[in-house]
Amino acid sequence: MRHISFLLLLVFCISGCTKEVIIPDNVPPPDYSVDSSTINIYINKAYINIAGREPVGNEKSSALTILRQHNFSVEDRKQFVQTLFSKPEYNAYLVTISRTEYLGNTDTLDIAQQIFVYENGLTLPELAPFYGLIHIEINRLDTLQNTLNDMNSGTCSYKEMLRRCVNNYFYDQLNMGTENFVVSTYQNFLFRYPTTYELTECKIMVDGQNSLAFLQTGKNKNDYLGIFFSTNDFYEGQVRYIYKKYLFREPNSAEMAYYAGIYKANDNYKDLQLEIFSLNEYAGVH
């Protein structure tokens, strides 16, 4: 009986052993625990939200290769998103979105036509007293017209592009008068109405007199815009904008402070996009 028990124990121990599998070069096999549909949806959504179009040709397969390196990790997603920043459509789509949202779908043809109107005015003697103002308006429109080229050459940031969008003939026509102009900047970028004090002081500055805006002094419209687009309020507003547009919710206070800091650190909108478009929430994973 003892011999039988010993043999049974020996068989049990042998059967309980497992064979060690050696992976060549110690590289683990791909982990496809994140389903393909989730990754494909993410690729399409990211292309549409960042480049303004769906992937074409071998772009989807290239994206899948990147995103499956470490089973759709945050780092994989960041590497993929960075490839979209180099697409030729990237800057063009940012400009298109901004002109749609802030300039009522104004396009390059509209800008060219208005420049022509102003240049024609310079040929009219009766407008001679206003030639100086006309030249200023032409310069503002030329700057707006050249925005995409300047972004592609690296001489115009996303923030500068937004500033140009609110400093031209078309924006002034949509938001006529100093008060409407100030209110529109607050509502478009800070998502709130200015306080009575803020509105009064900002109007004074925009109208060409010394005043305070966000605790900084200025005496004209350009000063106001320079101050406005350098405030913490602006960076926090940009976080609110991207959360509302792509995550369909408001950021909490911790999220707003954290991501505003990321954007402000290098003054680079891509840094903010990179973080948001690689989040689990945006990618549809938990």
Q: Is residue 118 part of a domain?
A: yes
pLDDT at 11 > cutoff 90: no
What mean pLDDT is predicted for residues 35-56?
A: 97
Query: Do 38 and 105 belong to one domain?
Result: no
Among 174, 192, 212, the domain-final residue is 174
Query: Do 99 and 110 belong to one domain?
Result: yes
- What percent of the chain has a predicted confidence (pLDDT) above 70? 88
Query: Do 94 and 71 belong to one domain?
Result: no
24: left (phi over 0), alpha (psi -120 to 50) or beta: beta
Q: Is residue 27 part of a domain?
A: no
| Domains held by the chain: number | 3
pLDDT confidence of residue 34:
82
Query: Do 67 and 133 belong to one domain?
Result: no
pLDDT band for position 286 (cuts 50, 70, 90): confident
Q: Is residue 214 part of a domain?
A: no
Query: Do 51 and 96 belong to one domain?
Result: no
Backbone angles phi, psi at 227, to 5 degrees: -70, -50
Q: Is residue 14 part of a domain?
A: no
Quick: pLDDT tens for 191-202.
999 999 999 999
Q: Is residue 194 part of a domain?
A: no
CA atoms of 134 and 63, how far apart (whole Å):
49
Query: Do 120 and 65 belong to one domain?
Result: no
Query: Do 116 and 163 belong to one domain?
Result: yes
Quick: pLDDT tens for 62-99.
999 999 999 999 999 999 999 999 999 999 999 999 99
Q: Is residue 6 part of a domain?
A: no
Among 46, 63, 87, the domain-final residue is 87
pLDDT at 30 > cutoff 70: no
Tokens, residue 284: 């549809």
Query: Do 64 and 94 belong to one domain?
Result: no
H-only helix segments in 36-168: 36-51, 59-67, 74-85, 89-102, 108-121, 131-145, 147-153, 158-165
Domain that holds residue 54: 33-87
Among 174, 200, 221, the domain-final residue is 174
Q: Give this prediction's pTM.
A: 0.86
Tokens, residue 62: 């290239």
